[in-house]
Amino acid sequence: MKRPAGFKGFSIMSIGQIISLVGSSMTQFGIGIWIWQTTGNATPFSIVATLFFIPNIIFIPIAGALIDRWPKKRSLILPDLAAGIITIITLILYKTNNLTLWFIYIASFISGAFNAFQWPAYSVTISIMLKKEEYGRANGLFSLTETAPMVIAPIVAGALLPIIKLSGIMTIDIITFVFAIGAVLWVVIPDIRKEVEEKVNLFKDAIFGFPYIFKRRPLFYLLLLFLFVNLFAGFYTTLIAPMILAKTNNNTVFLGTVESAFGIGGIVGGLLMTAWGEQKEKYSALSLE
């Protein structure tokens, strides 16, 4: 049987990632409920979010340089494998009544470090698997991979949590990792990597993007805009869960419905981009975001 390649292979890989990220997002939702029920405090939510994003930001430049050198399948599988191991350990600790807030903090930091590899590796596969005329559709799928779990996971986790508890949610999450890793192993991804002989070049490659961005003012201002949008968005995305839980007597279904509503716009945009195909009006597409 011929293994899928090109846009078909990329689509299969994207579906596997969506399934896996739905499971991971369900676990994140369940862990958030556990934190609230354990502490009744909003501060741990902020700490968990901060400990996830700080290593993500720090390691992304290094991750990009390593991804250039590594086989792309390794770069794609590594974050999923690490997340799966962390979830298994969390499940064991929860089942044995040994799960603590400090472990959640440590797990969040480690997850953030490995997550730095996931999206750069995934985006690189677009250029090495697809033709240029397929980039628009691929970016639509890329957007769906990010936003679909935001819609599906909270409402499903909110409904299932009272029935199967946090242990059941994490078990589902562990199963979904098989889909992501299996899809990556199945599809054909060209093994294109950078040949580097001097280790010192790793640092040079890691900072290469910064001068490139600073020299192109429109790109720099656009990224600066995204920085501030995401910064202020982080305030309400972090605090909305404890606020709703406090005002609804821990109603997980209502919280899941509200959080799912946030991702609907991203789903619509991703579907439009996938159907649109080649971006003839790039500024129009960007303004829609």
67-81, 146-160, 252-266: least confident range? 252-266
Is the pLDDT assigned to residue 283 strictly greater than 70?
Answer: no
- Residue 68 banded pLDDT, cuts 50, 70, 90: confident
92-101, 190-199, 252-261: least confident range? 190-199
CATH architecture type of domain 6-191+200-288:
Up-down Bundle (1.20)
Q: Which whole number is the average pLDDT over 225-229?
A: 79
Concatenated DSSP letters of 185-243:
HHS-----------TTHHHHHHHTHHHHHHH-HHHHHHHHHHHHHHHHHHHHHHHHHHH
Rounding to the nearest 10 degrees, give the CA dihedral for residues 150, 153, 158, 164.
-160
| Residue scoring higher pLDDT (90 or 194) | 90
From CA 165, how far away is CA 34, in angstroms rounded? 10
Task: Compute the mean pLDDT over every residue in the chain, rounded to the nearest whole number.
Answer: 84
What digits encode the pLDDT tens for the residues 147-188? Answer: 889 889 999 999 999 999 999 999 999 999 999 999 999 998
3-12, 132-141, 200-209, 234-243: least confident range? 200-209
Give me the residue spans of the domains in the chain. Answer: 6-191+200-288
Closest residue by Cα to residue 44 from 53, 52, 35, 34: 35
From CA 91, how far away is CA 204, in angstroms rounded? 40
Q: Which whole number is the average pLDDT over 267-289?
A: 57
Closest residue by Cα to residue 10 from 114, 172, 121, 174: 121
Concatenated DSSP letters of 70-110:
S-HHHHHHHHHHHHHHHHHHHHHHHHTT---HHHHHHHHHH
Residue 128 in contact with residue 72, Cβ under 8 Å? Answer: yes
